[in-house]
């Protein structure tokens, strides 16, 4: 009998320790979570993740399994872990959305938001952020700022704060509609300013028949001057890179976007149309005509879009122009060298210096390529991402030791 009691006690202790060692995520409906939180006098913690998110997996394995994290969350919250894609119908998502993954929501027992944060946090920092969430006045701030908006407050600083610091945290899908309303109250002169351009540039991944995209398109030349090459890169993404991806992966979206572009007049429309034609040629691995088109486009538009060469060379890299499997002609090598030289001259950076070096290596001028690479530390960003860097095939460069 005594042995049996000891065995049962061991199982009970082990069960308690197992719960204490990690966050106890429960499978509950939204209403059940609120009812349980009220009954236990706790708040609600929601971890929103996706199966493809690396930081989400890291949190699940390295942070939520730690005893101190489990103790804190389990003692203060009813915890849910929701897959943003597979559990999109969960009642929680009728109220709150995540704009990045992982995103964490700390709420009271009635479902009112304390605070929300995104990204990976080490255990101690996560506990600290959770403690701050309980003291947060975010919910009251949202109510107060929403009231200001409803009363007609439209100063640029307030709009930036309200949309990106407040609304974006809990209702990310509502930011663009709010911005459309804001633009509706401005004159064209007010829209064509640096401050408004800074707000709009966050929406260059989609083409929509709304005030946001129309302002981006109509004033893209002005924003390019005011915001520099970063804005040009984003518009290239909007009008070239995303449409090229959609043309094969989402034809409906591609056709919808192009139908909007076709009926809209805006500065540089022909340039972007010509670039799309060049990109389609490049996709067919027709490097020679694509290079000729790229050089013509660059020479015609470098004055107002100095980064255009760099953007087009990036496309040639993705199209495997620099890899050894492609047998380049002498003319192709010469054209790429000219393209890279213009890219560096118009926008000197680590990135364009790499292009210049890679173009030299194509012509087997390894010493010139090496000398150029030796100057990399003297130039600033942007630098090329490591994933794309490999496609430049710079490992071919070597020095004759004789």
- With cut-offs at 50, 70 and 90, classify the pLDDT of residue 276: very high
Mean of pLDDT values over 11-23: 55
At 381, list the tokens: 């960003």
Query: In whole angstroms, what is the distance from residue 58 CA to residue 225 CA?
Result: 42
Query: In whole angstroms, what is the distance from residue 193 CA to residue 226 CA?
Result: 8
Q: Are 352 and 312 in contact (CB under 8 A)?
A: no
Residue pLDDT, tens place only, 23-40:
999 999 999 999 999 999
Taking CA atoms, 163 is separated from 148, 175, 355, in Å, by 12, 6, 39
Taking CA atoms, 197 is separated from 194, 270, 366, in Å, by 5, 22, 43
Largest CA distance in the chain: 93
Query: In whole angstroms, what is the distance from residue 335 CA to residue 330 CA?
Result: 9
Question: What's residue 119's pLDDT?
Answer: 96
How many C-beta atoms surround the C-beta of residue 189 within 10 A? Answer: 7
- With cut-offs at 50, 70 and 90, classify the pLDDT of residue 396: low
**Residue 8 clears pLDDT 70, i.e. is over it:** no
How many C-beta atoms surround the C-beta of residue 264 within 10 A? Answer: 14
Count CA within 13 A, CB hemisphere, residue 91. 10
**Residue 333 clears pLDDT 90, i.e. is over it:** yes
Structural domains in the chain plus CATH codes: 21-135 (3.40.30.10), 142-185 (no CATH), 190-267 (no CATH), 268-392 (1.25.40)
Q: Are 391 and 318 in contact (CB under 8 A)?
A: yes
Question: What's residue 12's pLDDT?
Answer: 45
Coarse DSSP helix, strand, coil percentages of the chain, rounded to the nearest 5 percent: 65, 5, 30
Name 103's bridge partners. Answer: 48, 118
Q: Is 198 exposed, middle or buried (0-12, 13-18, 19+ CB in 10 A)?
A: middle
Residue pLDDT, tens place only, 79-116:
999 999 999 999 999 999 998 999 999 999 999 999 99
**Residue 401 clears pLDDT 70, i.e. is over it:** no
DSSP-based three-state secondary structure for 94: helix
Query: In whole angstroms, what is the distance from residue 293 CA to residue 277 CA?
Result: 9
Question: What's residue 33's pLDDT?
Answer: 97
Query: In whole angstroms, what is the distance from residue 73 CA to residue 297 CA?
Result: 58
Q: Identify which has the larger pLDDT, 382 or 243.
A: 243
Q: What is the pTM of this model?
A: 0.78
Tell me how far the alpha carbon of residue 353 is from its chain's centroid.
26
78 phi and psi angles, rounded to 5 deg: -90, 120
Name 83's bridge partners. Answer: 49
**Residue 13 clears pLDDT 50, i.e. is over it:** no
Counting every residue written for the chain, the total comes to: 402
Question: What's residue 16's pLDDT?
Answer: 43
Question: What's residue 15's pLDDT?
Answer: 45
Q: What are the strands of the beta sheet with 77-83, ordered from one edge? A: 77-83, 43-49, 103-107, 113-118
Question: What's residue 382's pLDDT?
Answer: 77
The DSSP symbol for 21 reads: T
45 phi and psi angles, rounded to 5 deg: -115, 130
């Amino acid at each position: 009998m005594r042995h049996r009691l000891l065995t049962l006690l061991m199982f009970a202790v082990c069960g308690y320790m197992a719960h204490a060692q990690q966050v106890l995520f429960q499978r509950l409906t939204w209403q059940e979570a609120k009812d349980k939180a009220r009954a236990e006098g706790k708040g609600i913690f929601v971890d929103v993740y996706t199966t493809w998110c690396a930081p989400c997996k890291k949190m699940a394995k390295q942070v939520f399994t730690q005893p101190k994290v489990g103790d804190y969350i389990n003692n203060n919250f009813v915890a849910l872990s929701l897959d943003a894609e597979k559990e999109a119908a969960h009642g929680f998502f009728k109220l709150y959305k995540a704009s990045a993954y992982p995103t964490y929501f700390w709420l009271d027992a009635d479902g009112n938001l304390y605070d929300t944060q995104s990204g990976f946090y080490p255990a101690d920092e996560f506990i600290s952020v959770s403690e701050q969430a309980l003291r947060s006045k975010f919910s009251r701030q949202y109510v107060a700022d929403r009231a200001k908006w409803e009363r007609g407050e439209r100063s640029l600083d307030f709009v930036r704060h309200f949309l990106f610091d407040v609304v974006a945290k809990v209702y990310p899908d509502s930011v663009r509609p709010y911005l459309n309303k804001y633009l509706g109250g401005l004159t064209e002169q007010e829209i064509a300013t640096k401050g408004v351009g800074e707000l709009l540039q966050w929406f260059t991944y989609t083409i929509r028949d709304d005030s946001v995209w129309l302002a981006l398109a109509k004033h893209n030349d002005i924003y390019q001057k005011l915001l520099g090459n970063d804005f040009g890169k984003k518009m290239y993404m909007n009008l070239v890179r995303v449409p090229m991806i959609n043309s094969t992966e989402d034809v409906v979206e591609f056709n919808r976007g192009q139908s909007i572009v076709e009926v809209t007049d805006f500065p540089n429309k022909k340039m972007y149309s010509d670039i799309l034609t060049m990109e389609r040629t490049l996709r067919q691995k027709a490097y020679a005509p694509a290079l000729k088109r790229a050089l013509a486009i660059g020479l015609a538009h470098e004055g107002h879009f100095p980064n255009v060469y760099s953007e087009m060379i990036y496309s040639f890299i993705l199209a495997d122009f620099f890899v050894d499997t492609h047998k380049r002609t002498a003319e192709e090598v010469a054209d790429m060298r000219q393209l890279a030289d213009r890219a560096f001259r118009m926008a000197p950076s680590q990135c364009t210096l790499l292009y210049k070096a890679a173009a030299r290596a194509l012509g087997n001028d390894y010493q010139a390529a090496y000398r150029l690479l030796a100057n990399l530390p003297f130039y600033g960003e942007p630098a090329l991402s490591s994933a794309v860097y490999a496609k430049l095939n710079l490992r071919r460069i070597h020095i004759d030791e004789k």
